[in-house]
Structures are given as C-alpha cells and as structure tokens.
Structure 1
Amino acid sequence: MPFDFSDMIEEARISARALRDFSEHLFNPTLRLGITGLSRAGKTVFITALIHGLTRAGRFPVFEPLASGRIARARLEPQPDDAVPRFDYERHLRTLIDERAWPNSTVDISELRLVIDYQRQNGAERTLTLDIVDYPGEWLLDLPLLNKSYEQWASESLALSRGSARSSLAAPWHAYLSGLNAEGPMDEQAALTSAKLFTDYLRACRDERFAMSLLPPGRFLMPGSLAGSPALTFAPLDVPEHGNAPDGSLWAMMRRRYQSYKDVVVRPFFRDHFARLDRQVVLVDALAAFNSGPNALFDLEAALAGILDCFRIGRGNFLNALFRPRIDRILFAATKADHLHHSSHDRLEAVLRRAVARAVMQAE
C-alpha cells in the first residue's frame, strides 16, 4: 500500500516520543523490556517469578551478575506511565503461593518498574531502571494489518480458514457467509452476525485441542471495553483482493470498520507501547502445539514468523535512539518445560528452534 499522510503523522509521533524518552534516559538509564506470548504461554507466572527472584535474591545460576553477587539489590518503584495499569505483582504472588492457583491470563497491557543496583565487571557501581511491559501476544499479530487493505486481509483470512485444519471449525461462519451479498446494502444485523460467527471460529481455533496460533484480529478474542463497538463488528467477506467497494454497500461498511480497528486499536498500541521497547521476550507454549499435531506446529511457525516481522530489528545507534528506536535483542523461550523430564529439554528446545528458524533467517 502507498505511504500516506496518516503514516507520516504516526512516524512523527513515534520520533517525538523517542526523543523525549532519550532525553529522560540520559539522566536515568532505562531499559524497556517487553514480555509477551500467545494465550496460555505463561506470561504472568514468568514475570511474577522473575520479579520475585530478583527482589528476593533468588537462585539464577546461569544469570552471571546475580550468581556472582554483582547485583547488590533490586527494588520495585512506582509505575511511571499514568495511562497504563500496573502489573499486579503482589496479587499474582499471593495467588501462586497462598492460594496455590494460577493467576488470570493477560488480557490487557500492564507495566512494572524495577530498579537494579549493580556492579559492572570493571568494578564501577551503576543503577539500571527496568520497565517490564506485559501485553498479549495476540496484539502483535495485529501489527501486520497496518500494511494490509481490508480486501487483502479478507482474502488471506478466508484462504486460511478453508485449509484442511480449519475448515470444519469455520463451517458455521462459511455457511452464513455464502448467503451474504457483499455489494448489497449495508446491514447492521449482517455485520453483527458475521462478527460473532467469525469470533466463534477464532475461539474454536484457539482451543487446546487444536492450539492454532495465527488468529488476528487479536482484540476479537479479548475485546475489553471495546466489546460491541463498530470497531470490533466486522468480518472478512468473499471479495476480490483488488476490487472496489460500492458506496453504501456491506463491503464498504466492513472496510470502514476494519480501518477503524486499525486506527482505534492497532496504531495506538504500536505508537504508545510497542515502538518504545528496547528488548523483547516472546514466550512460546511449544508443547501445546506439539501435542495437537503437525497442523498446529505449522500454524505456530507462521505465527512466530509474523511476530518477528513486526519488530524493527537491528542494533541501535545514537540516531536510532533519538528518532527511531529499535529492538536489538529478542529471546524466544519455550515455557512449561517442567512438564517434561529434564533429559528431554534439549528436544523441546529443538522444536522451538525449528519453529522460529524461518523467522530468525529473516532477522539475520
């Protein structure tokens, strides 16, 4: 798609935010660490355990600064972004320890600030501010939509849903879709029913029996305060990828709402949160995909490739820090390794390495 004026405005906003962050970090070195993963990957437990271990001097034998004693202490400080909820570390810790239950899954963005006093290898004492940003991995899969028209997205979504692994799950939606006239007059009830059936299909794909990972738009499965809004009331129509929607048609209505979804949901997330990250951890429940069979593994591979495509990869330099921040280190980590005997951990790592191989080649 051509680079339009709205893209230029977004780039200017991101550059202005990057310049402000850079000026603040000159006096208070800060690292923004994004932690994400697809549903049920274990983000909340991972972050809670990480903070608990750092603040309580836990055992991290392979983390040299802590194992060697170079980290003097780590402490929590007030979350700095007034518009972002605080990651509720204390409540999650009580849930895990006192109630012996799993915390609720991540459904929105949250943040926590950790200040670490440490000693460099040359003996100099330093302080690092670590802002941990927790957000659903499904939101990452929305970022490629910024460069896709409604027609492109609809065509890709329909082609994916007609694959052998998904066609039976999409049958009710496909049956309803076959009776719609995309060029007919706009119809609110048709849009509502299409959006519901499409969401039901996405939810069925995510079920642990199938463990599909490539499920944009992400907010359809975690709508939050936008539930029922027009920005979440659209669905793919069977229209030509390079066609033109007639004025006043159902097609034009779906296209407009798809664009609103990008403007209301995707762009603000990219501008205000994602573009500000310095490092990224992506947690992957490779076991769930492995247990669900080859189709789920192929789907996971495609999702991870899509996730890595979203990152602005490349080692940062002075100009990047000023005007165009980059994530220069990304860690993919396989979770739930405790479900396997330790002698099989290398095989789990191999499964994950195979799943991200294509994405890593693109990054390199």
Structure 2
Amino acid sequence: MKIISIVAFLSFLSMSFNYEIAEEESVFEKMVCPAFLVFENVAYLADMTFELPCNCKPEEVNSVVWYFQKDLGHNETRVLTDFNGTKIIDSSDIKTGSDIMNRFAIRMFSLIIFQSQVEDSGHYICGSAKGDFFYGYDIDVQPSEGAHLAFIDIDQKPLSDMETATYKIFSSFWAWGKCDRCDIRGEQTRIGLCYFKSQYLFTRYRTPMPHVVSCGSAAIPRRFRGILNVRKTEVVVRSCYEPCPKTPSPLEGKHSIFEVVSALEEKQLNLAVPIQYYSHPLGYPLTLMCPGTRPEHSVAWDKSTFQLYRSQYMAGVNKSMRVFIDHGNHLRFKYIEHDDKGIYYCWQQGKKVAGFRLSISYRSKRARKFSDPETQFAFKTVLTSYIFITAIFIVLHLLKCVRYFFKIPHN
C-alpha cells in the first residue's frame, strides 16, 4: 500500500487520547494483533450506520488513525481523522449522498460510518500515525435500489441459489424484523444479502464461514466478478399481528390537573402522537421521514386510517407508482396532487410515533429547470411522441417505395 507519503505527513502527530477505562485496556491486552495484516469481510445494506471496532492494538498506543483504500495497492488512500484521534458529529445533520469525510466519527478507537453508500465499500485499516497497522476490514455495502421483492402472503419466493462446480451464489438472510404495527395487521421484512462460496478466494481475507464471502468482497478473483452483477439484494415481506403493550394505569388520586386536561384534549382531537404541519406546493416531489428511525428499524405508514402496506406501496412493486415507500423507510411522492392532503402517521418498531398534517399550496410562477420532475416528464412525453410519429412516417414511406419499385406493370 502506497500510503508512505501520508504516513510521513502524519508522523509528527503524537495524539493523546486519554480514555482510561480498565475494561478496554484488558481487552487489548488479551487480543494479539496478527503478524500479517488480514481483512475481515463484513457486508451491510446501503443507508445503514455501522461501527468498525479496532479489535487489537498495542497497549501503549493511546490513539488510532483509520485509513480507507478502495482497492489494495492503489495510490489513492484517505486518512479518516480530524488530527485529534476522535471526531463527534450529529447523525441528524448528515445529508444523503454526502462524501464519506462528512459521514464518519471515531469514538473509543472505533470507526462509525453514518448512512453508508455503495461507494463506501473497500478496505478500512486501523493503525497509528507512524504507519503501524493493527486491524483491517473488507467492507461490502450492497445496494438497496432494485432489490428483488418477495411477498410470502401471495406465495412469492426468494431467488434460487446459483451453483456450479467451482462456485455458489446465494442469499444470506437476516432475522425477521419486528412487526411494524400493533393491534392491527402489520408486516415484517427480512433482508437477504448476496454471498459467494468458492475454493478460489484470496487467502488474505478472513471470511465469516469457510470459503464464503459477500459478493462485493475483494477476496473474489476478478474472473468471477461478472457473474455477480446479476444477483440482487433481496427483501422478503410477510404479514404479522402483535397486540399493543398495555400501559399501567396510575393509582387513584395520582392524576394531576394537567394530565387530565391533556388526556381530554387528546381524546377530543383523536391525537395519540405529536403532529407536524407541512405545506407543500402542488406538483412538486416530497419525502416524509419518520423521526428517529434508521433503515434497520421496522417502519410503517398510514394515511389517516388507511394502511399503506408494503405489498402495494413498496418501491419496486410497480414502476409507475407515484406514491411509494423506499428502502430507507421514507414515504415518497414523485409529485403532489390535491388528493394527497391529509394526515400521515408513521410507526416505528410497532409503535405509532409521529403524524404529519399535509396541506397543499400553490407556488408562484417561476422559470422551469430541466431538473424539475414535471419538466423531465413533459420532455419524455414530447420526445416519445415525436419518435413514434417519425417511425410511422418512415414506415409509410418505405411501404410506398416498396410498392413503387416492385409494382407489376399492367399489360
């Protein structure tokens, strides 16, 4: 790895990271770093937040530096540090699609990547500013877009395994998520990531099972990479039912006047969760995000008393859907219509947590941009119509020419 220049630049940094926790020190005392740096293969789904612990380091090292390299042996190496040995950020301030340098934190020697993206796949190395390497990861972030959907209730099945004499491609499924609603019919989801089994893997990578790595791992020889492009991440959905937990009633005489008034107001307005008010212009896209949720959470959406089940509204069920739930559990509108106004509720881990009262507004006239969804729709419609009319024109003239040149003269 050609990171000597970067290491030389950082060699003057002797960062003091004074965390004196006996438990952490005892762990590092027991775990010995490998003499030859190997990489532990770990797979995640896009948009997830994950943590990479520095599983071993010398006891005298009080701070670590994390390095990122897309492919081993390449010149480009990124140093993930703020030169103090730690970087604390608020995950709620992170924008989707932002660079990895704005989405990481170092806490207690561990590297945390927020809202991971497919581009974050690569090699992560825990080391020191002097160029000593302690532990390595081979991270594979698999895309959620275009995932294969299977709904158990209508007898749809996951993808079949692909197996030959030299390799096997299959999906490794996580455990079923929590039922996303209570006291009414809910849904559970299960994520399946792509894995590859072969005897021809590179030995520098530590695999979760013998001869098995995730499909995006660098341990797979290049000659097998092409066949992996056709395999997709899988999402399996099934119905479920779970009763809502009963809250214990307070003892008699323990009610305060404020609690009684709040309960009466809540019952009168039929509101069980806090409501946010949204005013959105007609014809423009909108994305609603359930507060405090992560992609691995079980999230459901309702419009008033109408349930938006994934079997009908999940991204990928129908390409022409205007309203759908994406794989990050967001409720998305390609463009807002009059009928979209109303109250939308979101559930998190089987509990209704928030509501959004959506009203429709009218935006003043402005210059259209090509990036506007309605502009792109109009452009595609006009272009498709033009191509269709041109094709009919050409076909008619070709038929006329054929008839002219091959016409048999009358005697």
TM range (shorter): under 0.3
Q: Which has the larger radius of gyration?
A: 2
TM-score if structure 2 supplies the norm length? 0.23
Greater share of strand:
2
Point out which structure has higher relative CO (alpha carbons under 8 A, 6+ apart).
1
Greater share of helix:
1
